[in-house]
Amino acid sequence: MNVLPDWMQVLPHWELIMLFAGVGIIAQLIDGSLGMAYGVSSNSLLMALGLQPKIATSCVKYAETGTTLVSGISHLAFKNVEKRLFLGLVFTGVAGGVVGAYLLTEFPGEFVKPVVSVYLLVMAVRILLKARTKRHEVDTEKEAKHFSNPILAVLGAIGGFFDAIGGGGWGPIVTTTLVGGGHEPRYAIGSVNTAEFFVTVVQAFTFILIIGIADLWPIIVGLLGGGIIVAPFAAWICKKIPPKVMLILVGCLIFITSSYNLWKGLEKLISG
């Protein structure tokens, strides 16, 4: 049984690859400019193109195994990883990701899509609210509230779960919580991104066991190729466009696509 929408099934593989390379380009431009939101933005776009939530999320996770590996190695090389943060997040993050991936594949797509869309809408609002702040730095006048190991474990589990359910959210949930709580941004971002590789690999493996990968390879190749090609340009954009402007653009993009997905999902539930 083909897991792709009918209109995609009639397209040749090269056209599918080019189409999803476009999605990968948009997502990587966002992620490369902001340091987060690759999964949220790409998942929103994939669902808007007609993919079921479990298919969209699995494709995102397959593609992210490559991007998170490079990111983690880079952060380790630049000594941006704090051991306590990494270990406090990674194990429960993996567990939460497996549970989220399994639940996503067990529930019918018509019921999951509105739930995922609502979650992505919440993430869009969160991003837009962040855009209201003048800067995205920790207030150094406040005493840093470094989280204890139990709190890190809970945060990792929540981040991993919603990352699997919504196709993204590990960075927006975990990184922003750590930085907002007083952790130094350098180590928060480095530790979270390095832990994300292990969370993503286990999520992808879970999806492979349940869904498979055969029919999805054009999507995965497109996402990976588009992201790799545009990565240097995204880094350049990061220097040129103010973060506040990028946050507003990303928030609006996710809000619009998620609203559309929610409307179509609710319409299908009501009519069916």
Residue-level pLDDT at 190: 86
> Span 48-58, mean pLDDT?
90
Residue-level pLDDT at 239: 61
Burial of 163 (0-12, 13-18, 19+ CB in 10 A): buried
Residue-level pLDDT at 245: 78
Torsion 80-84-89-92 (CA) sign:
positive
How far apart CA 58 and CA 208 sit, in angstroms, is: 8
Where does the pLDDT of residue 124 fall: very low under 50, low under 70, confident under 90, or very high at 90 and above?
Answer: confident
How many Cβ atoms are within 10 Å of 270's Cβ, its own excluded? 7
In this prediction, what percent of the chain has a pLDDT beyond 70? 88
Residue-level pLDDT at 36: 66
Q: pLDDT digits over 177-221, tens only?
A: 787 677 877 888 889 989 999 999 999 999 999 988 888 999 999
Amino acid present at 107: F
Burial of 100 (0-12, 13-18, 19+ CB in 10 A): buried
- In the chain, where the domains are located: 13-271
Residue-level pLDDT at 118: 85
Q: Is the pLDDT of residue 256 over 60?
A: yes
Q: pLDDT digits over 135-181, tens only?
A: 544 443 344 457 889 999 999 999 999 888 877 778 778 877 787 67
Residue-level pLDDT at 136: 47
How far apart CA 27 and CA 79 sit, in angstroms, is: 26
Q: pLDDT digits over 68-81, tens only?
A: 888 888 889 888 89
- Asked whether 234 and 29 are in contact (CB, 8 A), the reply is yes
Can you read off the two tokens belonging to residue 162? 């919603």
Range name among 21-25, 26-30, 229-233 with the lowest pLDDT average? 229-233
> Span 240-250, mean pLDDT?
73
- Asked whether 71 and 193 are in contact (CB, 8 A), the reply is yes
pTM: 0.77
